[in-house]
Amino acid sequence: MAGAFSYESSELDWCEDNYRHSEHVVEYFNTISSFFFFIISPIMLYLMHPYAKERNLAIHMVWTMMIFVGLFSAYFHMTLSFVGQMLDELSILWVLAMGYAVWFPRRLFPSFIKDRSTFSNLVLVVTIISTLSSFVKPTANAYALNCFGLHMLYVLAVEMRCCTDQKALRLGKLSVALWVLAITCWISDRFGCSFWQRLNFCYLHGIWHILIVIAVAYGSTLIAYLDANYEIPYSLPGLQYWPCDKWAVGLPHIVLKGTTKTQKRC
Ligand SMILES: CCCCCCCC/C=C\CCCCCCCC(=O)N[C@@H](CO)[C@H](O)/C=C/CCCCCCCCCCCCC
Ligand SMILES: [Ca+2]
Ligand SMILES: [Zn+2]
């Protein structure tokens, strides 16, 4: 058991040279880049609050758990231990499950599912089974997680088919572009390491960390915006960018221009 905590007990080893910058941190840049999750997650929690308050406070679980993804990712790259790998992968699985439970469009539910709470229970059962099966062949977990990423892209594409809202379309294109860039870095680091070592540039996995957290911020805001239009249309949801809506770059969030629960009660 103690072996599972020991340095380099994971079968995974990313392209970055081990112990290059510190004798205590196996992959330095991969560890440092995981801290991006700590920067983006609290900002997203703050920006999502008006929408979550109106829709369901459980939505905050997604970005709260992303803080743990960052923590476990940093621990994994610092040690490359088996426990670090499992914590990193299982925390991603549970964030994805949370995202599906709160945002999966109601009209795409399987016909035998009546409401969101039954759907969430189904997601919970599937996630518990996946958690247990992740110990069978741990090296396959990352690929399975990326398949969920592909499924999310499919759900987004289905939802955007009839969309004419220019701001949402732009956000959709940006999310997909960021995801493509991120996954290219992840695959290149995994399978093209000897090439990158020859160029003395072994930082693609760290760049993946930065790109994927921004892709998730963009993609999840878009899904949340489509959800708000469907579930709380009276609140007149709109899309804006933080810190300044006029800038070409920034973090997207939902603004509610119509009535809200508190206003309705008055
Ligand atoms: C309708 C469903 C909506 C769900 C929205 C939920 C959003 C949260 C999704 C995912 C969190 C991703 C976190 C990535 C953490 C990276 C840590 C890491 O690098 N781990 C690696 C080892 O260090 C590991 O090998 C990585 C495994 C692959 C993880 C793949 C996750 C899928 C990401 C999907 C993101 C889609 C973005 C949206 C684009 C439109
Ligand atoms: Ca390495
Ligand atoms: Zn990583």
**How many secondary structure helices (H) and strands (E) does the chain include?**
11, 2
CB 230 within 8 A of CB 106: yes
Tokens of 220: 């999840």
- CB within 5 A of ion ligand 2: which residues? 13-14, 16, 18
**Which residue has a Cα nearest atom 30 of ligand 1?**
146
**In the predicted model, what is the mean pLDDT of residues 38-67?**
97
Report the chain's mean pLDDT, rounded to a whole number: 94
Number of domains in the chain: 1
CB 16 within 8 A of CB 27: yes
Alpha-carbon gap, residue 175 to 153, rounded angstroms: 9
List, for residues 72-95, the tens digit of each pLDDT value: 999 999 999 999 999 999 999 999
Q: Residue length, the chain?
A: 266
**In the predicted model, what is the mean pLDDT of residues 190-201?**
96
Which pLDDT value is given to residue 162?
85
List, for residues 206-217, the tens digit of each pLDDT value: 999 999 999 999
Which pLDDT value is given to residue 73?
98
pLDDT beyond 90 at 2: no
If DSSP codes are grouped into helix, strand and coil, which group holds residue 56? Answer: coil
* Sign of the four-CA dihedral 240, 243, 248, 252: negative
> Percent of the chain at pLDDT above 90?
91
**Which residue has a Cα nearest atom 6 of ligand 1?**
99
CB-count exposure of residue 48 (10 Å: 0-12, 13-18, 19+): buried
Which pLDDT value is given to residue 262?
66
Whether 165 is covered by a domain: the verdict is yes
> Percent of the chain at pLDDT above 70?
97
Q: For a ligand 1 pocket test, name from 27, 78, 145, 226 the mutation site with the most ligand atoms within 8 angstroms of its C-beta.
A: 145
**Which residue has a Cα nearest atom 19 of ligand 1?**
209
Q: For a ligand 1 pocket test, name from 66, 92, 151 the mutation site with the most ligand atoms within 8 angstroms of its C-beta.
A: 92
Q: What is the CB < 6 Å shell around ligand 1?
A: 62, 69, 73, 76, 88, 92, 95-96, 99-100, 103-104, 142, 145-146, 148-149, 152-153, 155-156, 175-176, 179, 208-209, 212, 215-216, 219-220, 223
Whether 39 is covered by a domain: the verdict is yes
**Which residue has a Cα nearest atom 17 of ligand 1?**
73
- Which residues contribute to the annotated binding site for Ca(2+)? 13-14, 16, 18, 27
pLDDT beyond 70 at 263: no
Which pLDDT value is given to residue 246?
84
Alpha-carbon gap, residue 217 to 212, rounded angstroms: 8
ipTM comes to 0.94
List, for residues 218-228, the tens digit of each pLDDT value: 999 999 999 99
Alpha-carbon gap, residue 13 to 145, rounded angstroms: 18
pLDDT beyond 70 at 266: no
List, for residues 129-176, the tens digit of each pLDDT value: 999 999 999 999 999 999 998 999 999 999 998 889 999 999 999 999
**Which residue has a Cα nearest atom 8 of ligand 1?**
96
Whether 170 is covered by a domain: the verdict is yes
* Sign of the four-CA dihedral 248, 149, 102, 172: positive
CB 172 within 8 A of CB 159: no
Domain that holds residue 241: 28-256
If DSSP codes are grouped into helix, strand and coil, which group holds residue 29? Answer: helix
**Which residue has a Cα nearest atom 32 of ligand 1?**
149
CATH assignment of the domain containing 201:
1.20.1070
CB-count exposure of residue 43 (10 Å: 0-12, 13-18, 19+): middle
pLDDT beyond 90 at 69: yes
Least confident window among 120-124, 154-158, 244-248: 244-248
Which pLDDT value is given to residue 75?
98
Closest CA to 21 of 77, 71, 73: 77
The residues, any chain, with a CB within 8 Å of residue 38's CB and separated by 6 or more, are 67, 70, 71
pLDDT beyond 60 at 264: no
Q: How far is the CA of 69 from the centre of ligand 2 (A)?
A: 20
Tokens of 172: 């959709």
Whether 157 is covered by a domain: the verdict is yes
